[in-house]
Amino acid sequence: MKIMVLNGPNLNLLGVREPGIYGAGSYADLIAMLQQYAAEQGIELDCRQTNHEGVLVDWIQEAMGKFDGIVINPGAYTHTSIALLDAVKAVRVPTVEVHISDVDARESFRQISYIGMACVHTIKGHGLQGYVEGIQFLQKYPGN
Ligand code: CA2
């Protein structure tokens, strides 16, 4: 099983700032934890981070026909990007949206997710563990 894990803008700064909201774990810690889980489960993970919306669109398209699922934290593009929504709709690769923080308990502008309208599942407020839960959801997803 092959899963693409995508992180959007500023998530490379995890652990560096705002630990009260996003926790103390760094981006490197997150990837190490996910790769360890994947190795235990025999899953192939491809983990990528970018600050650029179009790069996320390119990567989602790349997953088509090559990956069994996508776990994505689109960062702030969650709340603005119809391009990401269209990409997930187009590729028909089961996609789980993950947010480290509980976006529903924050500013009202964080309570809209465009990409979420095309995702098979959304996980919010479970910290870095939410990414593992996203992979687990895809492991159980019909057809996988
Ligand atoms: O809770 C999440 O995972 C978010 O997707 C994170 C985004 C935010 O815009 C979304 O509303 C919710 C922001 C990521 C910024 O990450 C940072 C991490 C450490 C320090 C500064 C920013």
Mean pLDDT along residues 113-139:
98
Report the CATH number at residue 9.
3.40.50.9100
| Portion of the chain with pLDDT greater than 90, in percent | 97
Binding site membership of 73 for ligand 1 (Cβ less than 6 Å): yes
pLDDT digits over 72-92, tens only?
999 999 999 999 999 999 999
Question: Is the sign of the CA dihedral 99, 103, 107, 113 positive or negative?
Answer: positive
Q: Classify residue 143: in a domain, yes or no.
A: no
Q: What is the pLDDT of residue 22?
A: 93
Among candidates 99, 85, 96, which has minimal Cα distance to 11? 99
Which residue type sits at 31? I
Q: Classify residue 42: in a domain, yes or no.
A: yes
Q: Classify residue 125: in a domain, yes or no.
A: yes
Which residue type sits at 62? E
Number of domains in the chain: 1
Question: Is the sign of the CA dihedral 135, 137, 84, 7 positive or negative?
Answer: negative
121 a catalytic residue:
no
Binding site membership of 8 for ligand 1 (Cβ less than 6 Å): no
Mean pLDDT along residues 32-48:
98
- Determine whether 20 is exposed, middle or buried from the number of CB atoms within 10 Å of its CB (0-12, 13-18, 19+): exposed
Does residue 16 surpass a pLDDT of 90?
no
Out of 22, 77, 114, 131, the active site residue is 22
Q: Classify residue 105: in a domain, yes or no.
A: yes
Binding site membership of 11 for ligand 1 (Cβ less than 6 Å): yes
| Portion of the chain with pLDDT greater than 70, in percent | 100
Residues spanned by the domain of 14: 2-138
Q: Classify residue 144: in a domain, yes or no.
A: no
What is the distance in A from the centroid of ligand 1 to the CA of 12?
10
pLDDT digits over 93-104, tens only?
999 999 999 999
Does residue 17 surpass a pLDDT of 80?
no
Task: Indicate the pLDDT class of residue 19, thresholds 50, 70 and 90.
Answer: confident
Ligand 1: residue whose CA is nearest its atom 18: 14
